[in-house]
Each structure stands twice: as structure tokens, then as C-alpha cells.
Amino acid sequence: MEMIQKFYQTINRVITSGLIFISVFLFFSFKPHKGNGILKVPVTRKEFKIENAFQSIRLEGDISVMLTNDPAGTVIIEGKEKELNKIIPVFDNKKLIIDVNRKHLFTKLTLYLSAITLQAIELNGDGTISSIDFIRSHHLHIFLNGTIRVRVKTMGQLSFDTPDDIELLRGSPFVKKKKEIPVLYQ
């Protein structure tokens, strides 16, 4: 009986020592993951250079639009390569038409759009329209058909058309403005 107890104690010590060794090994070989834990999907950029400067754009589908001060006619779409290959911009009478309706609802598309000569944006779908810097546009008219958040910085005027009610919020705790920018809507 005493021999069986010594045998169990020996096995117990070996197992405990092994578990401690493995734990210490794993602890010191651990590399913390950088990021937010969400799987990163490779993002591809596709650039279109429209020779004729367009004055208005119509977007069909869900997309985020980022207005830029890039040279007139610059259009960059960012997203999954498979989705980007399905998008073909059509130019018709100074109006750029982009259909971004797609099957995969969870893929995000971002459109970087020059606002230099832009006078009107029509978005038929859900998304956002924003700008990083103040855009150089004297007057920009935005047609909203969907759930769309607009956060555009401009020294010019913005006007809106929408079939639903519109809520205008001025200012932001993150943006310091030296003067109020007029917002016009119809």
C-alpha cells in the first residue's frame, strides 16, 4: 500500500512539474496581438481618372463617400478586390453614375471623390458622406435617399433634398471651429 502511494506521489510530481514547465514556456513565448481582434480583410484600391470633369454623381447602393480636394476627375474606390471588379463607372452628360449594389452585405466600400468641381451628390442607399479637410466647393447639393450620415467640412454652402425628415447637428466636441459655417437645406 505504501508503495502505491509513493508511486502516485511520483506521478503527481512529474505531472505538476510538466504543467508548470508548459505554463512558464507559454507565458514567456506569448506575443500580444496588435489590433482590435477583428479579422483583417485585404483592402484593394481601384483608381479611375475621369478625363471630363463631372459636376454631379449618382451612387446606387450602400457606400461610404469621402470628399477630397484631389484634382478634378479623381475617383478611388476601396474594398475587396472581388467587389471592386464588379463596379464600372458610367459617365453621362457631366454626371458620373456608379452602381455599388452587391450581394455581400458585410463588405465595406469607400469612395474617395474629388469635390473640386462637384455640384451635386445623389446617394440612393445607406452610408456616410464625409470629408477629412475643408473641401473647396462653393455650393454642394446632396440628395439623400436612405439612412445616411453627412459630416462634411466646407467653407461654401451645403443644401439637402431628402424624402424623410432631416436632423442637422452643428459643431462637434472633436472639431474646433473659428466661425459657424452656414448650412442651407430645402
In CATH terms, the fold of domain 44-161 is: Pectate Lyase C-like (2.160.20)
- Computed over every residue of the chain, the mean pLDDT equals 78
- Higher confidence at residue 121 or residue 39? 121
Q: DSSP labels for the chain?
A: -HHHHHHHHHHHHHHHHHHHHHHHHHHHH--PPPS-SSPPPP-EEEEEE-SSPPSEEEEESSEEEEEE-SPTTEEEEEE-HHHHTT---EEETTEEEEE---S-TT---EEEEE-SS--EEEEESSEEEEESS-B--SEEEEEEESSEEEE--BSSEEEEE-SS-------BTTB--SS-------
pLDDT-derived band at 39 (thresholds 50, 70, 90) equals: low
Q: What is the mean pLDDT of residues 56-83?
A: 88
Q: pTM of the entire structure?
A: 0.66
pLDDT-derived band at 30 (thresholds 50, 70, 90) equals: low
Pull the grid cell for residue 44: 484593394
Q: What is the mean pLDDT of residues 135-153?
A: 88
Residues with Cβ within 8 Å of 185's Cβ and at least 6 positions away in sequence, in order, are 158, 159, 160, 166, 168
The confidence score (pLDDT) of residue 180 equals 42
The confidence score (pLDDT) of residue 25 equals 73
Q: Indicate whether 1 pLDDT > 80.
A: no
- Higher confidence at residue 182 or residue 91? 91
pLDDT-derived band at 169 (thresholds 50, 70, 90) equals: low
- Higher confidence at residue 145 or residue 167? 145
